[in-house]
Amino acid sequence: MATKLRLALLQMNINAGNPERNFEKLQEMAEKAMGGAEKPDVLLFPEMWNTGYALEEIDRLADPNGERTEELLSALSRKHRVNIVGGSIAEKRTDGVYNTILAYDRDGGRIADYSKIHLFRLMAEEKHLKAGEKPGRLTIEGEEAGMMICYDIRFPELARKLALGGAKLLFVPAEWPNPRLHHWRTLLTARAIENQMYVVACNRMGQSGETTFFGHSMVIDPWGEIIAEAGEDETILRAEIDLGLVDEVRSRIPVFEDRRPQLY
């Protein structure tokens, strides 16, 4: 098991309705992230990076069964020997379009998938997307982790369920817009503190229609300290985490042992 992990978060602009450009951009940024002497162990991308929120056209634009995404991310992970938590994509299945994370190990094998459970009514997701039906769990370098997508972080029950299942870190791809930066920062920090886990959140930046996105991807430790945070520009945010700190924090403040779920 690896207690230390180097992370690279691809805070990118997304061209709504243009998968071709988005696939090119993602590949360019992933290749750049793998450059340099200290290569990351894990890459994380933002939410719905293949299509953006072109929901009126999503049935036409979505990746059928995630096949194109699988081809690219599997090849990248195998080429660079890196784990990839592939943000999320619009994935077309026989029963509709899902907002789905696909994750891969260093050999290019798919190790997990997760479809967004909570659909965001303010952007009419429920009219165009199907909701997932299972929590997002994966094992990465021998360590247990969880996956949530954007709006999911407003539901603390989900993060707690993942933590009770052994997750030491939580991956969160997002398209979280202005003006709710305070909510973004506060909710992510709360999920880290209350579950004594790392939270690794990758947000997009740029503009889509009338909506602007502020970036501020971040990595938060189990004490709730922000150890890395991007600004509003397109960038690759890098950080190193030590999962041994999770065990230390959980032993010092034994929240999980002191729970009384029979009362609530």
Q: Is residue 264 part of a domain?
A: no
pLDDT tens digits along 18-47: 999 999 999 999 999 999 888 999 999 999
Instruction: For the beta carbon of residue 154, count every other beta carbon within 10 angstroms.
Output: 13
Predicted TM-score of the model (pTM): 0.97
Asked if residues 226 and 201 have their Cβ atoms less than 8 Å apart, the reply is no
Tell me the three state secondary structure of residue 33: helix
Active-site residue, 150 included? yes
Residue 15 falls within a domain, yes or no?
yes
Percent of the chain exceeding pLDDT 70 equals 100
The one catalytic residue in 25, 70, 92, 116 is 116
Whose structure tokens read 């293949």? Answer: 50
Catalytic residue flag (residue 202): no
Q: Tokens 């180097």 correspond to what residue?
A: 6
Q: What is the CATH number of the domain that holds 142?
A: 3.60.110.10
Per-residue confidence band for 123, with pLDDT thresholds at 50, 70 and 90: confident
DSSP-derived letter for residue 76 is H
Return the pLDDT at 36: 81
Note the pLDDT tens digit of each residue in 10-20: 999 999 999 99
Q: Of the residues 47, 70, 125, 144, which is catalytic?
A: 47
- Asked if 176 and 151 count as a contact pair (C-beta separation under 8 A), the reply is no
Domains in the chain: how many in total? Answer: 1
State the chain's maximal CA–CA distance in angstroms.
52
Q: pLDDT for 66-103, tens place per residue?
A: 999 999 999 999 999 999 999 999 999 999 999 999 99
Residue 114: inside a domain: yes
In angstroms, the CA 130 to CA 123 distance is 14
Distance CA 87, CA 43 (A): 9
Which burial class, exposed, middle or buried, applies to 3 when counting CB atoms under 10 A from its CB (0-12, 13-18, 19+)?
A: middle
> Residue 172: which domain range?
4-254
Looking at residue 2, what is its pLDDT? 72
pLDDT in tens, 138-185: 999 999 999 999 999 999 999 999 999 999 999 999 999 999 999 999
| Percent of the chain at pLDDT exceeding 90 | 96
Paired tokens of 14: 């997304």
Residue 9 has pLDDT above 90, yes or no: yes
Question: Per residue in 176-232, pLDDT tens?
Answer: 999 999 999 999 999 999 999 999 999 999 999 999 999 999 999 999 999 999 999
How deeply is 87 buried, as exposed, middle or buried, from its count of CB atoms within 10 A (0-12, 13-18, 19+)? buried
Q: Please answer whether residues 75 and 35 qualify as being in contact, where contact means their C-beta atoms are separated by less than 8 angstroms.
A: no
Q: Determine, yes or no, domain membership for 198.
A: yes
Beta strands at 4-11 and 89-93: parallel, antiparallel or unpaired? unpaired
What b-and-e string marks burial along 53-79, b requiring 16 or more CB atoms within 10 Å of the CB?
Answer: bbbeebeebbbeebeebbebbbebbee
pLDDT at 41: 98
For residue 171, the model assigns a pLDDT of: 99
81 located within any domain: yes
**To 10 degrees, the CA torsion angle through 123, 127, 133, 136?**
-30
The answer as to whether 165 is a domain residue is: yes
Q: Which of 70, 144, 150, 175 is catalytic?
A: 150
> pLDDT band for position 3 (50/70/90)?
confident
The answer to whether residue 260 is domain-embedded is no
Look at residue 62 and tell me if it is in a domain: yes
For the beta carbon of residue 94, count every other beta carbon within 10 angstroms: 6
